[in-house]
Every structure is written in C-alpha cells, then in structure tokens.
Amino acid sequence: MQEMILILDFGSQYTQLIARRVRELNVYCEIHPWNKCPEMSDNIKGVILSGSPFSTRDEKAPRPDLSKIKGNKPLLGVCYGAQYLAQNYGGEVLPSNIREYGRANLAEVSKTNDLTKGMSNNSQVWMSHGDTINNLPDNFKVIASTDDVKYAGFHILNETTYGIQFHPEVYHSAEGQILLKNFIVDICGTEQSWTPASFVDESVANLKSKLGNDKVILGLSGGVDSSVAAVLLHKAIGTNLHCIFVNNGLLRKNEYDQVLESYQGMGLNVKGVDASQQFYDALEGITDPELKRKAIGRVFIGVFDDESKKIENAKWLGQGTIYPDVIESVSGTGGPSQTIKSHHNVGGLPDYMKLEVVEPLRLLFKDEVRRIGKSLEIDQKILGRHPFPGPGLGIRILGDVTREKVRILQEVDAIFINGLKEHGLYDDVWQAGAIFLPIQSVGVMGDERTYENAVALRAVSSTDGMTADWCHLPYEFLAKMSNSIINQVKGINRVTYDISSKPPATIEWE
C-alpha cells in the first residue's frame, strides 16, 4: 500500500492547505474527520491534527481518541491540535490576554530539535488563535516561543509527538515548509515517491477496477479540471466515456464552438448540447447568488439526466470536482467548517437521477491538476486556461441574469482576456474576468449625457484558489482596457478594477 500522512480534520479552513503542503513534498496524504479516524496501518507514516474553529474549552469541542496514535506514530498538532495535546495530557489552556491573529515572529526556536532544526530566530509565522497554552505537562519541552506566546512549540519527551501554536501551512509562515519537511520526511521517514506520474498510474488502475465495463457520462466545461478528468477516464475506459459539453448560455464569447472543436481534436467521444434557453428560463427574475447557483445546478443536472437516458446502460456521472470546490461548499470531511458558497458539482445527485458519481480529481488542488495534465500530455492551451466558475457568467452578473446582460458581459470579458494575452500578462494572472454590476451611472459621450451600466475587472494571483491577491496590472494597460470597453461595448460607460484580496473577499463576487 502507498505510504501516506493522515490529517485529522477538526473543521479548520486551513486543513486543505496542510494537505497541499504535504503533497508539495511528493508525499501522499488523506484528510479524515477527527471522529472517523481510520485504523492505523503500516502505510500511515505519521498523523497531523488540524486547527479548528472550536476552543478546546468548549463543551462540544472535538475530542479525538489518540490512544492508538500518540506514542505509536509520529504526531504533530497544529494550533487547536497542539492545544488539545497540551490540555488532554495534563497541561492548561486558557483564554489569551492577547489574541494573536496574523503575523508574529519566533523570538526563540530550538536549533537542535528534530522538528525545528534549520529554522531561524525571528522567523515570521502565522497565528490564528484566541486561547493560549498556560502550562505544559512535565514531560513536554518548549522548542519555540514568540514575544507573546511562551509555548509556541513543544515536544513530548521520548516520543515523536509535537505541537505548534502557529500555522506552518500558510504562506505567511516563512519557514513553515522547513518545519513540515522535518516532520514529514525526517521524523515520519517518508520516501517522497508521490508524483504526477504515480498518481496517473494509480488513478487509472483504480478507475478500471471501479468502473469495469460501465459507461460514464462526463460534463465537460472547457476548463482544466474537467479536461484532465476526461483524459484520465478515457485512459481507463476508452469509448465507454461519453462526454457532454453543455452550452448553458453563460460561457465566454465563442467558447462553445471553439472548445467543442478542441475536444473532438483530442479524440474524446464528445457531444455538444445547446441548452441556453433552459438556463435563461430557470434564472429569470432570480437575484440571490445562492438561488442562482442552485438554479444553474438544477438545470445542469436535468440536462445530464436527459442525455444519460439516451446512452444505454450509463451508470456513472463523471465530474471534475477538486478540493477548493469541496471545502467552500461544505467541510471536505463532514466536519464543522463553515460553508462559504455552494458549487453546482458538489454534494451528489438528486434521487431521481440514477447515476453514481465518479470524481477522479476530488483530492487535488488546481496546481496539482495542471501537473497531472502535463504528465498526460494535454495541450498547454487547455492546461494554461484560467479557472472559470461552473455557473459561468451567471455569477458574474450581479442581480438578475438576462440574455442581453450576458451578451454585454461576453464582449467586455473578451476585450479584457484578449488584452491580457496580447500584452503578455495572461500567464502572470491566475484568474481574470469581468463582473456586470447592478448599478447605472451618469456619463458623457460627445456632448450627450449617458446613464449606462458599470463593470468591474478582476484579476488575481494564487496557487490553489484558497487564498488570492489582486494583480498589480500596469496602469497603462488598465487605461487601455477601460477605453476599449467603453468605446466598443454599447451599454457600458464606467469601468472599475477590483483590488480586494481573498480573504476577506472571495475571487468571484457571488
């Protein structure tokens, strides 16, 4: 069995980032709810306890049974996980006099401890806690401190058990990956053998075993995720994969015809279905973002139900679901993480649709999906495409969705995206698009007063979609885009640029 790191999730939004950092070390990991811990086996090389929105002092706080882990497997508690270890084994956790949220610096760090070797004094770390460890049990040794937190890191003597108050998985922890490598590679003794090629081989083998001779229907979107999922499934089951590319009327300008042609050129068994009017009808008069997403998802499922009936003995619906989709919809592990927004391809199918779901990318982040796609030799034009939301322009039109608003936004989006490509900026941006704002503003064109619509341009940099920063595009470029949009797109007289990061904002506006 493949070696792995087990991550027990207590509901932290950062849990998925821990997994991503582990995989950057070419080590496979799985996330499981704290109350559904799998049996310890030889292939589990170590265990990480995540953070949590709970306080260890809460009556309903997670309290895992670590009797088969602590002292038997290398164990690292992060934030809540560290506080739980301290409190549960004889220490004391109290409300902090100084709530630490954000950047902090390690005032002292042990240079000789296996966990913290190679780290620097004054190394920046990321804190996110309202409680603090007030006392440690006698057999706990302090290995890191900040000016405000005495017990920022500890080691239980005579065990490979550790706890840290900060979050090494967050980019703002400058030497977090050093600590994680110390734990995962040196302390846990992993071989770092999990690579894109090994993932492809294992996934194809698993898909062959799971699907057998069954037929699968896959919804293609034109994006990286569904494209990679399609090639993986095609590699496993060949012509038993039936791809459906739905035109929901909310795609980018000319995208339906262009993408359909490229898929056919890849040798995929693909059929195009124009269901634009069904989506427009379902969205008529709806302004609430969640209701729009649900309406789009409902029609999407309905179209696939109709198409599945045309394919004799189809048993599976393939989807390109990835980790960020899952964590933003519900906790990826059934834990207490807060829902940020729902995704149309997360959460299963209605009872009337007699298809099971297969999601070969469900445990991967976007950058991992691209690496898998590269190993599958998928065209870079597809792999390099910016992420595009499943509900399409439907959630980039604030307020009700109409065919005319879609047309206007398609024109604006095309000018912006083509401009990024023409100016050599496209590959420097992780995701970009335009948002149709639910306001009109006064303008002047020639000698005439106008009262027309406003749009916002959005461009962010990111690696996994969990966090993102707005791109500092050149002023000259933004000026040219604004001028081109206002002059070429009738109905727009004002262009703005969104300079919000995630968090606190999300990448999409809805």
- Active-site residue, selected from the candidate residues 3, 169, 307, 368: 169
Q: Let me know: does 58 contact 131? Beta carbons within 8 Å.
A: no
How far apart are the two ends of the chain, measured CA to CA in Å? 42
Look up 29 and say whether it is catalytic. Answer: no
Active site residue 37: no
- Give the three-state DSSP class for 88: helix
CA neighbor of 430 nearest in space, from 466, 394, 406, 391: 466
**Helix, strand, coil percent values for the chain (each to nearest 5):** 35, 25, 40
Catalytic residue selected from 29, 79, 188, 243: 79
- Residue 334 CA to residue 344 CA, distance in Å, equals 18
State whether residue 450 is helix, strand or coil: strand
Backbone angles phi, psi at 99, to 5 degrees: -75, 120
**Active-site entry in 100, 129, 155, 167:** 167
169 is catalytic: yes
Alpha carbon of 348 to those of 87, 143, 328: distances in Å?
A: 38, 45, 15
Contact 257, 271 (CB under 8 A): no
CA distance 183 to 188: 6
Distance in angstroms (rounded) separating the CA atoms of residues 477 and 416: 10
- H helices of 322-474, in order, are 323-329, 366-375, 380-383, 403-422
Give CA–CA dist 320/228, Å, rounded.
8
Active site residues: 79, 167, 169
